[in-house]
């Protein structure tokens, strides 16, 4: 079953949300007017399933129409797996809606999933623009990578649903299999999945012990990760190894972990391979067991072992099929959970790169504007004062000119770490560009409170900075504007603080000036 032939009606809402976030982030970060994702449709065509920036008064069915791959730049990226960028003077195949909407420049990047191209991300401008910088292209590739992970997750969800349907058919013959698959569906973490698996197997008392273990790569010993059942006391003395030379490696779990197939002990009391553990199993009434191997998403082998008080409890074909289906489901569910974690990590990376300065890790202009907007809203609602401060390092240009930007970058990183370390969690320092920074100081009680902070920052900036064997001593000029006294809008506050900073710099630097005294 192809995950893409069902878009957008049958797709998981989380999948659509992930794409919408990625598309909107792509459009805003590149200053584009359009951004969309096209995925395979019927008859070898493509179709846009998400488009951001399309005119509100336009019919969405216009851009949702299927189109042949050779009709557009998007189709070229999908067909060849390469990135394309066109300006108005290039021979650019475009779709009618793009031309009608005033599109001039367009970039298309393929989306990869499971070693194949599964769609294309398209960015469009209503003007002739330059090709995005290498840094922005890397960010776009990270965004399409996150989209690919979303697609892989959706495909796994569809396959999991298909596996669940098969399990429900088998559950008519075996009620345990049904309960196991339900526990897989409800799992939200690796540990909860494995624990619930064991609990489901032993829930009705037919099986008195179930445990799952993984081999330690260093020692070869098997560590028990999850277990359940009335006979869990057996595990307090259990020792299992994957080492074929060890006496503890001759049992069913050790052999299964070495890849020798599913292992069945029909009678624990008589089977010689179980001799090492018989004295612990017999008092608990354990008479038969089965062990099967599976792999997690990283390829690490694990084993599921199930025990019964009845001899030959696992001789029936249905029970063996249950174990085969069960360990396959464990591998599949672990892979699915790992992909969810990867997708979440990739999305966090995209968000961080979109809103933070790559050199210092500080918030960038986008995040600064957002936080300043929040502070303005809170200030108006609760009549709370705050300060906007503009900081500029004194004579920093001479450092770059004399020692190079590499030294300058290292100085900036050290200084920002030093200055931000003295701030409260509610305050925000952002890099505005070059050696200029903006500091938002929340909940300023009075002017004395602010001046104490500014003096502390000036003193900290004067402390020497050492790069390799070179010691630098810099200063900082600061201008500060207070809300609401010096302004009640973002632009006004930043402008007033900037004017005050230039006054501090013209006064010799290494000092601060307040906008109220301009």
The residues annotated as belonging to the active site are: 435
Q: Contact 479/500 with Cβ under 8 angstroms?
A: yes
| Chain mean position to CA 138 | 16
- What is the rounded radius of gyration, in angstroms, for the C-alpha atoms of the chain? 32
3-class secondary structure, 54: coil
- How many residues does the structure list for the chain? 518
Q: How far apart are CA 194 and CA 215, in angstroms?
A: 15
Quickly count: other Cβ atoms within 10 Å of residue 152's Cβ. Answer: 20
Asked if the peptide bond before residue 171 counts as cis, ω within 30 degrees of 0, the response is no
Q: How far apart are CA 230 and CA 284, in angstroms?
A: 9
Quickly count: other Cβ atoms within 10 Å of residue 397's Cβ. Answer: 12
188: exposed, middle or buried (C-beta count within 10 Å: 0-12, 13-18, 19+)? exposed
Name the strands in the sheet holding 512-514, side by side, starting at the edge strand that comes first in the sequence.
428-433, 436-441, 386-394, 475-483, 512-514
DSSP 154-219: HHHHHHHHHHHHHHHHHHTT-HHHHHHHHHHHH--SHHHHHHHHHHHHHTTSSSSEEEEEEE-TTT
Quickly count: other Cβ atoms within 10 Å of residue 32's Cβ. Answer: 23
């Amino acid at each position: 079953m192809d995950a893409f032939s069902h878009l957008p009606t049958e797709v998981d809402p989380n999948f659509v949300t992930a794409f919408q976030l990625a598309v909107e982030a792509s459009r805003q970060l590149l200053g584009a007017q359009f951004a969309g994702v096209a995925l395979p449709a019927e008859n070898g065509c493509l179709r846009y399933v998400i488009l951001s920036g399309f005119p509100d008064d336009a019919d969405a069915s216009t851009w949702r129409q299927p189109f042949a791959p050779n009709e557009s730049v998007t189709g070229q990226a999908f067909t060849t797996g390469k990135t394309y960028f066109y300006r108005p003077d290039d021979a650019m195949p475009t779709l009618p809606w793009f031309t009608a909407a005033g599109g001039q420049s367009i970039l298309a990047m393929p989306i990869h999933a499971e070693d194949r191209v599964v769609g294309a991300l398209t960015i469009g401008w209503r003007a002739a623009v330059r090709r995005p910088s290498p840094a922005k292209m890397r960010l776009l590739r990270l965004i399409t990578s996150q989209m690919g992970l979303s697609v892989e997750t959706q495909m796994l969800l569809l396959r999991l649903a298909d596996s669940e349907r098969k399990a429900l058919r088998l559950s008519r013959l075996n009620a345990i299999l049904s309960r196991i698959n339900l526990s897989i569906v409800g799992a939200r973490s690796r540990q909860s999945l494995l624990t619930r698996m064991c609990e489901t197997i032993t829930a009705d008392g037919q099986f008195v012990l179930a445990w799952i273990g993984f081999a330690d790569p260093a020692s070869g010993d098997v560590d028990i990760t999850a277990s359940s059942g009335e006979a869990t006391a057996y595990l307090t003395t259990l020792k299992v190894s994957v080492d074929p030379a060890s006496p503890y490696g001759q049992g069913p779990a050790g052999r299964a972990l070495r890849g020798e197939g599913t292992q069945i002990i029909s009678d624990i009391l008589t089977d010689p391979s179980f001799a090492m553990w018989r004295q612990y199993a017999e008092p608990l009434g354990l008479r038969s067991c089965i062990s099967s191997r599976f792999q997690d998403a990283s390829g690490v082998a694990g084993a599921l072992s199930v025990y019964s008080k009845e001899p030959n409890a696992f001789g029936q074909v249905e029970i063996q099929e249950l174990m085969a289906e069960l360990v396959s489901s464990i591998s599949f569910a672990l892979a699915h959970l790992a992909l969810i974690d990867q997708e979440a990590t990739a999305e966090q990376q995209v968000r961080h790169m979109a809103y933070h300065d790559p050199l210092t890790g500080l918030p960038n202009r986008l995040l600064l504007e957002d936080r300043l907007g929040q502070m303005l809203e809170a200030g108006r609602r609760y009549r709370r004062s705050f300060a906007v401060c503009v900081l500029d390092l004194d004579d920093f240009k001479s450092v770059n000119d004399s020692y190079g930007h590499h030294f300058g970058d290292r100085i900036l990183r050290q200084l920002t770490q030093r200055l931000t370390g003295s701030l409260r969690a509610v305050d925000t320092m952002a890099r505005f560009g070059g050696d200029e920074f903006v500091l938002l100081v929340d909940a300023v009680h009075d002017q004395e409170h602010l001046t104490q902070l500014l003096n502390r920052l000036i003193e900290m900036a004067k402390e020497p900075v050492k790069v390799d064997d070179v010691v630098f001593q810099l200063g900082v000029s600061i201008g500060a504007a207070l809300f609401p006294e010096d302004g009640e809008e973002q632009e006004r506050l930043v402008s007033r603080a900037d004017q005050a900073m230039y006054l501090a710099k013209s006064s010799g630097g290494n000092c601060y000036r307040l906008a109220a005294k301009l």
